[in-house]
Structure 1
C-alpha cells in the first residue's frame, strides 16, 4: 500500500498533502484567486507556479500530491515535474477520474467540468492518466462519488478497477455534497470476489462542515486511508474572511487562520492526510504550520461550535463563482 510510505515518514508535514485543483487551471471556486495568481494565467504561467509549489512542498516534507483529470492540466504539470525529479521514490501520487474538464482554459466558461462515472469514461481517462503519470500513479479515485452514482453498482466497472488494483494501483473514491456519509457507507459495502474494492477515501471535512466525520471514522476502522479535502472551505477559513472564532484562536497561537483550520482537521484521529490547496508558496508555508498548532480542548470546542448545517454549507459552496 503506497500510504505505508507516509506512515513510516519522519516529518510531521508528511500528513499534509498538496492538492493541485487551484493551480492546474485558470478558474476555480476558491476565494481570493485574484490576489493569488498571476494577472495573466497562461498555461506556462500556471505550469511554472505548479512547479514552484511542488518544489517547496517536497523540500518542506510534503509527500502526497493530489491531482485529477478535471483539474485542467494538473496531471501534465505534475508529470513534467516528476520527469525532472525521477528519484523521488518516497512521493505518493494520487489522481481522480469521473469529471472531464470542459472550460478550454477559460474562467468564464458556461460549464467547467462534466461528470460521468461510466466504464467508457473510466477507460478513456485511465488511458489519459497513464500516458502522463505512468507507473508514478499510486492512487486512482472515483471523483465525487455520491450514493446514487452508477459506479456503486456497475459490476463491469468494478472488474476493471479490480484489475487496476491487481496491477498495483490503490483504488479509492472522493465524495462531495451534504450526503457524503451515505456515499462513504455505500462504498464500504462494495466488494469484488468477496474483497473490499476501495482502500482510500477523500472527503470534505472542515470547521464548517463536519457531517462526514462518523462515516470517515468507520472507513478508517475498516482499513481505508482517509484523505481530507477542502479543509479551508474553499478559502472561507482563511484570513481576512475567516470567522472571528478562528481568527481568535489564530491570534492566541500566533499562527494564521489557515493553519488553525488545517490543524483542526489533523486533530481527528481518523485522518491520514489533509490537503493544502495553496496557490502560492507563502500560503503553503503558512498551511504547514498546522502541524505545530496548539489546539487545546477549549480552542477545539470553540471551533466545533462553528459547524453549519450541511445542506446550508453545500448550497453556499454551490454559489461560489468560478474565478
Structure 2
C-alpha cells in the first residue's frame, strides 16, 4: 500500500497572499483553494459515545448507538466535503471513527482528494460506554504501533496519508526508542507521512525534542499536531520553530473542548463575537488561523450547524484591539491542563 501524497507545497491562496508557504506533505491539498481549505474535520467527538467536550450531551442523539454515530459522522463528512474541507482527522482511540470514515470513503469515490490522518498510541477501552472508569490506555511501544498500524491499514488501506504518534509528551519513550524510529522511517520510506501530536503543559518541550529525532541523519517527523487556543498559548514559539523547520503544523482543540463556545465562552470573547457579527467559535478559530505558522486547524464539530459556524472562521477580520482583548484570556498552561483533565466524559 502506497499513500498518495508527494511532498508538494501547500497553496495559501485561500487565506491571502501574505501567508507564507511552508512545506506541505499533502499534495492534493495544494489545489484545495476554497475558503475552508485551512480547516479540517476531527472525528473525536462522533466516533465514540463518550468524550470530554462541554455541551456534548445536547449535541448527539439520546441513543448513542453505533448506527446513530455512524449516521452523524457521515452527515458531517457530507457537509464538510460539500463546503470544501479536504482534511479528516481520526485515531485508533476514537472508538469506531476510522471504520465510519472508511465506509464513507468507499461510498464516495469522488472524494479521492480527501486527505486522511490518523493516530496510534492510545487504545480505546470504554467498550462503547460513557461511564467507563477508563476510556483509553496510552502506550507508545513498538508492539502497540505494529498492532494499531495493522488495524488502521485494515480499515483505511492506502487512503491513509498521515500517521501520528498520539499525545507525545517530554517523557514519552517514543522520543528515544530507536527500534520504533526505524519502523516509522520504514513507513515513511513507503510513502506514509509520519507525524506526532502533543498534549499537556510540556507541549513545547515535546515539540522541540521531536524536532531533534533523526534516522540516518534525516528528520523523522514531517508534521506536528498540537493544542493551541485562546486559553492555552504556550506551544506557539515551538510550533513556529516546527513550521520554520518545514513541518506541517496542525492545531487541535481550538475550541478548548467547548470552553470557547456558547454558552461557556468567556465574556471578552462574546463581546468580540458580537462586534464581528459571527459566533464565538468562528472568532476563536480565526484567532488560530491568523498565525503564519498554522497550516490547518481542526473543527471538532458534533453537528452540521456547529461545523458550518466553524467554517466562517476565515471570514473573521480581527483588529489589533480585539486581538489584544482576546490575548488576555490566556491561562497558565498547568492550570489549563489541570482543568481539562477534570472535564467529564459524557
Alignment: residue pair count: 323
Distance 1:193 1:203 in 2: 26
Pairing of 1:131-146 with structure 2 (within 5 A): 131-146=154-169
SS of residue matched to 1:87: helix
Structure-2-length-normalised TM-score: 0.92
1:147 and 2:164 are equivalent in the alignment: no
Distance 1:154 1:34 in 2: 40
Distance 1:130 1:297 in 2: 46
Runs of 4 or more, structure 1, over 6 Å off, are none
Q: Which residue of 1 aligns with 2:330?
A: 307
- Which of 27, 31, 38 aligns to 1:4? It is 27
- Which of 272, 290, 293 aligns to 1:267? It is 290
Pairing of 1:1-323 with structure 2 (within 5 A): 1=7, 2-323=25-346
Deviation per residue, 1:211-262 (Å, 9 max, x gap) = 0000000000000000000000000000111010110111001100000000
SS of residue matched to 2:257: helix
CA contact (8 A) 1:3 1:225 kept: no
What is the CA RMSD across the aligned residues, in angstroms? Answer: 0.7
Q: Which runs of 5+ in 1 are unaligned?
A: none
Deviation per residue, 1:155-188 (Å, 9 max, x gap) = 1100110111011110000000001000000000
Q: Which runs of 5+ in 2 are unaligned?
A: 1-6, 8-24
Aligned-pair CA distance for 1:3: 2.4
Structure-1-length-normalised TM-score: 0.99
Distance 1:87 1:117 in 2: 35
SS of residue matched to 1:279: coil
Distance 2:241 2:124 in 1: 32
